[in-house]
C-alpha cells in the first residue's frame, strides 16, 4: 500500500483514495500556512502583534481617576509626557503604558498591598470544550490590565487558543522549553524561564503548545514514583504570584493530571457555561467530577479551598428561546453562585477572534457601533464584577469597598 494514498475498492465496487500519513502531513503544513497568512494580514510587518488602542484625554482621565485639567497641568510641568501627534499635528491619544504612568504619578495604581493581600489565582475551568473558556480568560486578563493591575495568564491548554490570541503561533514560535512542559516534566526548577511580556502593559503570559499533551504521561509517572506531582504547578505559581496582583489559568478542557494540578494551583474558580441543554448537562457532570477530584486530593492530604467560585453564563443568545429559558433556570437553581453578568453571544467577539484579536484590541467596530458598544458593556460588566470579588479578598480594600457601598 502506498503511504500517501492508494486506490481501494469498497463493498459497493466504488473506488476511492485512502489517505495516509504523508497526505495528512501535507494538510498539517497547509494549516500552518493559513495561520501564518492570518498573522501577516492582521499583525504588523515584523509579525509581532502590537496594541494599537489609544485613549482620549477624557478616557484617560476616567481611567486614572483625575480630571483632564490635572493631566494637562502635569504635562505642562514635565511630570508627564504628551501623547504623540499625527501628520496634522493632532494628538493620537494615550497608550496603556502612558495611562499607567499617569496612575503612578497620581498614586492611583490599583496594586494589592503585598504585605496583607494575597495574589488571586483564578482558574477559568470547565471539563467540556467549546464553552468559551479561553475567550473569557483572555478578555478577563486584558480587562484587568486595562484597569492597571499586574496580570499573569498561564496557558495550560495544549490547544493553545489563549496563546494564539496573544499573537503567537504555538507550534512555530514556541519550543517545548518555552512552555510549561519543561518545568512539569522535571527539566526546570521553576516557571520563570517561560514567562514573557505581551504587547499589553503589565500583562505577561506563560504560553502553551501541543507539547503539553505529554505532561499527562510525565505527571502520571511522577505520581507512581510517589512524587508530589499534583502540587508541582501550585508550588511554581506561588513562587511567581508575588510579582502580580492577579493570575489567570486557562486549563485543558478535560479531567486529567494537568487539570487536577490547576485545581490545586488556583485559589478561585470561574466556570463558564453555555445555556444549552448539552452544555448544561456536561456542566452538571463537571461539578460531580470536581467534587470527586477534590475528595481524592483531600484523601491524599491535599485539601483545596477557594476564595470564590462563580458560574458564568456564556455565549447566551437572546434570540434563542432555549438559551433564555435555560439561563433563567440556571439563575433560579444556582442563585448567588452565578455571576450577575451574562455574556451574550456577540458577533463582535466572533469577528475579532477570526482576526486573532479580542474585542478590547479593536481600534473601531467590525460590525456596527451599536453591536460593539453592547459587547463592551457586557465585557466591562464581567470584569467589574470579577474585580469586585477579587478586591473583597484583599484586606487593604475593605474601607474603600465600604465607602463605595459594596460591603
pLDDT tens per residue across span 231-253: 899 999 999 999 999 999 999 98
What angle is formed at CA 314 by the lines to CA 308 and CA 317, rounded to 5 degrees? 150
Task: Please name the residues in contact with 138: beta carbons below 8 A apart, sequence gap of 6 or more.
Answer: 153, 162, 165, 166, 250, 358
Candidates 213, 245, 215, 209; CA nearest to 233 is 215
- Asked if 284 and 148 sit in the same domain, the reply is yes
pLDDT at 36: 67
- Asked if 187 and 323 sit in the same domain, the reply is yes
Could you tell me the pTM of the whole model?
Answer: 0.88
pLDDT at 14: 59
The answer to the question of residue 99 being in a domain is yes
C-alpha cell at 124: 477559568
pLDDT tens per residue across span 268-304: 999 998 887 666 677 777 788 888 878 877 877 777 8
- Asked if 77 and 177 sit in the same domain, the reply is no
pLDDT at 256: 84
pLDDT at 47: 59
Selected residue with higher pLDDT from 36 and 293? 293
Contact indicator for 316, 275 with CB cutoff of 8 Å:
yes
- Asked if 40 and 185 sit in the same domain, the reply is no
Residue 339, pLDDT above cutoff 90 = yes
Confidence of residue 17 (pLDDT cuts 50, 70, 90): confident
- Asked if 158 and 238 sit in the same domain, the reply is yes
**DSSP of 274-297:** -SSHHHHHHHHHHHHHHHHHHHHH
- Asked if 76 and 190 sit in the same domain, the reply is no
Instruction: State which of 20-29, 181-190, 219-228 shows the largest mean pLDDT.
Output: 181-190
Instruction: For the chain, give the percent of residues with pLDDT over 90.
Output: 56
pLDDT tens per residue across span 154-176: 999 999 999 999 999 887 889 88
H helical segments located in 148-201? 161-165, 170-173, 181-184
The answer to the question of residue 5 being in a domain is no
End-of-domain residue from the set 109, 135, 162: 109
pLDDT at 388: 97
Could you list the residue range(s) of the whole structural domain that residue 175 is in?
120-394
Q: What CATH number did the domain enclosing 377 receive?
A: 3.40.50.300
pLDDT tens per residue across span 181-222: 999 988 999 999 999 999 999 999 999 999 998 888 778 777
pLDDT at 21: 73
- Asked if 79 and 173 sit in the same domain, the reply is no
Secondary structure of residue 346 in the 3-state scheme: coil
Q: What CATH number did the domain enclosing 77 receive?
A: 1.10.1660
The answer to the question of residue 308 being in a domain is yes
Confidence of residue 5 (pLDDT cuts 50, 70, 90): very low
Number of domain units in the chain: 2
- Reported for 42-47, long-range contacts at CB under 8 A and 24+ positions apart, including other chains, are 42/355, 42/356, 42/357, 43/167, 43/356
The Cα 399–Cα 405 span in angstroms is: 10
Q: Which of 40-49, 346-355, 369-378 has the lowest mean pLDDT?
A: 40-49
The average pLDDT across 306-323 equals 89
The answer to the question of residue 195 being in a domain is yes
pLDDT tens per residue across span 42-85: 554 455 788 989 999 999 999 999 999 999 999 999 999 999 88
The answer to the question of residue 115 being in a domain is no
Candidates 152, 191, 136, 113; CA nearest to 314 is 136
pLDDT tens per residue across span 90-108: 888 999 999 999 999 999 9
Selected residue with higher pLDDT from 278 and 373? 373
The average pLDDT across 370-377 equals 93
The answer to the question of residue 6 being in a domain is no
The average pLDDT across 149-153 equals 98
Amino acid at each position: 500500500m502506498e503511504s500517501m494514498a492508494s486506490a481501494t475498492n469498497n463493498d459497493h465496487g466504488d473506488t476511492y483514495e485512502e489517505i495516509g500519513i504523508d497526505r495528512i502531513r501535507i494538510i498539517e503544513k497547509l494549516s500552518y500556512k493559513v495561520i501564518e497568512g492570518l498573522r501577516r494580514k492582521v499583525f504588523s510587518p515584523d509579525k509581532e502583534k502590537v496594541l494599537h488602542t489609544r485613549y482620549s484625554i477624557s478616557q484617560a482621565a476616567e481611567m486614572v481617576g483625575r480630571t483632564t485639567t490635572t493631566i494637562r497641568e502635569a504635562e505642562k510641568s514635565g511630570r508627564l509626557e504628551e501623547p504623540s501627534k499625527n501628520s496634522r499635528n493632532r494628538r493620537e491619544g494615550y497608550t496603556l503604558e502612558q495611562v499607567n504612568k499617569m496612575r503612578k504619578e497620581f498614586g492611583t495604581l490599583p496594586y494589592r498591598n503585598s504585605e496583607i493581600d494575597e495574589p488571586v489565582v483564578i482558574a477559568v475551568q470547565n471539563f467540556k470544550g467549546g464553552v468559551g473558556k479561553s475567550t473569557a480568560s483572555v478578555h478577563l486578563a486584558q480587562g484587568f490590565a486595562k484597569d492597571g493591575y499586574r496580570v499573569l495568564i498561564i496557558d495550560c491548554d495544549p490547544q493553545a487558543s489563549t496563546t494564539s490570541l496573544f499573537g503567537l503561533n504555538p507550534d512555530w514560535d514556541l519550543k517545548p522549553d518555552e512552555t510549561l512542559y519543561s518545568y512539569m516534566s522535571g527539566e526546570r526548577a521553576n516557571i520563570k524561564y517561560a514567562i514573557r511580556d505581551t504587547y499589553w502593559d503589565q500583562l505577561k503570559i506563560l504560553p502553551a503548545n501541543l507539547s503539553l499533551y505529554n505532561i499527562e504521561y510525565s505527571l502520571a509517572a511522577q505520581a507512581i514514583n510517589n512524587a508530589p506531582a499534583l502540587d508541582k504547578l501550585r508550588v511554581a505559581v506561588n513562587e511567581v504570584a508575588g510579582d502580580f496582583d492577579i493570575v489567570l489559568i486557562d486549563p485543558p478542557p478535560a479531567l486529567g493530571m494537568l487539570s487536577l494540578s490547576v485545581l490545586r494551583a488556583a485559589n478561585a474558580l470561574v466556570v463558564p457555561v453555555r445555556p444549552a441543554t448539552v452544555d448544561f448537562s456536561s456542566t452538571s457532570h463537571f461539578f460531580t467530577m470536581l467534587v470527586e477530584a477534590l475528595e481524592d486530593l483531600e484523601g491524599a492530604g491535599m485539601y483545596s479551598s477557594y476564595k470564590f467560585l462563580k458560574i458564568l453564563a456564556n455565549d447566551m443568545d437572546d434570540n434563542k428561546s432555549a438559551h433564555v429559558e435555560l439561563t433563567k433556570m440556571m439563575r433560579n437553581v444556582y442563585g448567588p453562585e452565578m455571576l450577575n453578568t451574562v455574556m451574550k453571544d456577540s458577533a463582535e467577539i466572533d469577528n475579532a477572534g477570526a482576526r486573532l484579536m479580542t474585542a478590547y484590541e479593536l481600534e473601531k467596530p467590525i460590525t456596527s457601533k451599536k453591536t460593539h458598544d453592547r459587547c463592551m458593556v457586557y465585557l466591562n460588566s464581567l470584569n467589574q464584577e470579577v474585580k469586585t470579588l477579587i478586591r473583597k479578598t484583599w484586606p487593604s480594600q475593605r474601607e474603600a469597598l465600604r465607602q463605595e457601598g459594596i460591603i
